Structure 1
């Protein structure tokens, strides 16, 4: 009798399930090693310098620094800057030259006022300190939704004396009102912008989060420059309406010893940014 042919077992059935898992892990490892290669290279450069007793930054390098470097590397033709408040403590502006010793700091926004009467305790110090550098400076007001918008605008105007070469004023709106509707809030922010524009003869910049802007503000502030905060680790590209992108709040920068620093990309060249100044 003829022998029965044995069925061939498909190759994929011969491979153990654990082999697939190992292969998947290896693929993920290689993908992220390549994807974040610049940041990883920077990380090991810092480790090497630390072993040799040198120190390049004030804090340990983290995964955020690796991601930050990749974002900046993607936008190396754009313009980079920071924003600070009293949370950063005393800043040595004479050392505020670069971010990770890779990209120059071209602009900085400094918190000046909050609500109807509050003033950032380090505003004067920072405002005068940055004047001694070549960094373009600007001031921002933290808008409190449940406080009078006219008094908030007057608080900002009293404290901030913009000069030729300074960036436009900024209103920072982040919170939902507790005692009024969103419609009233938008009216208030518009009123703040109107008063401030009349005083400085320039439209203020609107700062907010990506979701806040899309949910509440995007239909109401045509003609204003938009500055968006989005720290999502997986967000790698700016949206079309983002004039400024605050892509991290966890950067280590020489000259700042206390807390991490917000870093921003302006979607244009330094010349473009200078054209926005007063």
Structure 2
């Protein structure tokens, strides 16, 4: 007797599962797009003043190159607007190549550049290739100038201080010497690093009879220097997109490394002094 074939039962809900997966993916995609749109609109609203400046007052430049402006340019303008009245300056080294100092006067054709920090030395044995030229050029351009030393943690601190002293002659009206510390040591402890920094600072202060300024990044400052070096004034670097104001305990704030200045071929760092031009004069060498 032949048996009737037993019909196979269909797999339940297979189609519904496929549809569910499709629609959930579609919803996720739309959610991502919506988030991106909200973020862009929120950013545009936050930087509305800067955008208005670039799209309105600088319409001639927009017509020339509408897509070449970076959001960093807009942020730079926003930061400068918030610090109206404070003294603005820059810092340079050999990386800016040969600078035409007679053209270095304003930022965005609006903000006067009052001061400049110039890299003089690196470690125990290297003088910045453009230091002499920049040092004289800034003076001829009637800018308040200062010199800084890039500190190498794994080299002798006294030798580094001696190289800076041998290279830099400060005159009345110049800014105090600056110690630039950015790197952590490889072959020594943090405590040993701090000893070396203090040795450099003490030797330089003894020579110039003025307390040096310390340059570093905000995180480095918070983690290693803020407490133990509280007797010193700080120049802090922070390019964070959302930081727009200088802290009360910062002497200078380097807020961007992507500015364009007449007379300089490359991008350049811009700094805000926590005071006006007259107050800046109070901290210069007497």
CA distance in 2, matches of 1:95, 1:38: 27
- Provide the aligned length of Structure 1 versus Structure 2: 257
The match for 1:227 is 235
The match for 2:44 is 33
1:212 aligns with 2:223: no
Q: What pairs up with 1:163-182 in 2 under 5 angstroms?
A: 163-182=171-190
Q: Choose which of 88, 92, 97 in structure 1 pairs with 2:105.
A: 97
- Name the SS for the 1:105 alignment partner: strand
CA contact (8 A) 1:107 1:136 kept: yes
Q: 1:114 to 1:72 in 2, by over 3 A?
A: same
The match for 1:265 is 272
CA distance in 1, matches of 2:151, 2:225: 14
Question: Could you report, residue by residue, the CA deviation over 1:97-136 in whole angstroms, capped at 9, with x for unpaired residues?
Answer: 1111121101100000000010100000100001111211
1:276 aligns with 2:283: yes
CA distance in 2, matches of 1:31, 1:73: 19
What CA RMSD, in Å, does the superposition of the two structures yield over aligned residues?
2.4
Q: Choose which of 186, 190, 205 in structure 1 pairs with 2:194.
A: 186
CA contact (8 A) 2:90 2:269 kept: yes
- Name the SS for the 1:264 alignment partner: strand
CA contact (8 A) 2:55 2:62 kept: no
Quote the offset at 1:96 in angstroms. 0.7
Q: 1:50 to 1:190 in 2, by over 3 A?
A: same
CA distance in 1, matches of 2:207, 2:113: 28
Q: What pairs up with 1:38-187 in 2 under 5 angstroms?
A: 38-45=49-56, 48-50=59-61, 60-187=68-195
CA distance in 1, matches of 2:248, 2:108: 27
CA distance in 2, matches of 1:119, 1:151: 13
Which shows bigger deviation, 18-27 or 214-223?
18-27
CA distance in 1, matches of 2:278, 2:183: 33
CA contact (8 A) 1:46 1:61 kept: no
Q: For the pair shown, which has the larger CA radius of gyration, 1 or 2?
A: 2
Per the normalisation by structure 2, the TM-score is: 0.83
CA distance in 2, matches of 1:261, 1:197: 28
1:201 aligns with 2:212: no
Q: 1:201 to 1:28 in 2, by over 3 A?
A: same
Gap runs ≥5 in structure 2: 1-27
CA contact (8 A) 2:54 2:62 kept: no
CA distance in 1, matches of 2:93, 2:32: 47
